[in-house]
Amino acid sequence: MNIVGIAACTAGIAHTYIAKEKLVQAGLSRGHNVHIETQGLAGRQDSLTDEEIAKADIVIIAADIKINGRDRFENKKVVEVPTSLVVKSPNKLIEKLEEINKGD
């Protein structure tokens, strides 16, 4: 499964990057391709490409604030969760994404 998404916390520092790392590690451990863009104090980093978005099976938005560029995910399955959920239960979240994706 190809997973793309955005991580963004209120401060744009710790939880943003922890959520990204946990999502990537949990996804890779289950054999998925994962690319997570961060939006925070340093601006947008690791920006998603149009090609990555087009190939995505599902989009995860792990955010505690309003994110920029949401319109890029039109016609995609989008799952929104707070960053704290990703930090606490990344494997369960990936399992849930797998279930949602199978719903096609």
Q: Per-residue pLDDT tens for 12-41? A: 678 999 999 999 999 999 999 999 999 988
Please check the confidence at residue 104 and state whether its pLDDT lies above 90.
no
Q: Per-residue pLDDT tens for 76-101? A: 999 999 999 999 999 999 999 999 99
Please check the confidence at residue 3 and state whether its pLDDT lies above 90.
yes
How many CB atoms sit inside 10 A of residue 10's CB? 12
Could you give the C-alpha distances from 43 to 2, 6, 16, 33, 76, in angstroms and in order?
24, 12, 12, 24, 24
End-to-end CA distance of the chain: 13
Domains of the chain, start order: 2-102 (3.40.50.2300)
9 belongs to the catalytic site: yes
Please check the confidence at residue 103 and state whether its pLDDT lies above 80.
no
User: What was the pLDDT predicted at 93?
Assistant: 97
3-state class (DSSP) for residue 41: coil
Cross-strand partners of 60:
5, 79
User: What was the pLDDT predicted at 43?
Assistant: 86
The one catalytic residue among 4, 6, 8, 9 = 9
**58-87 mean pLDDT:** 95
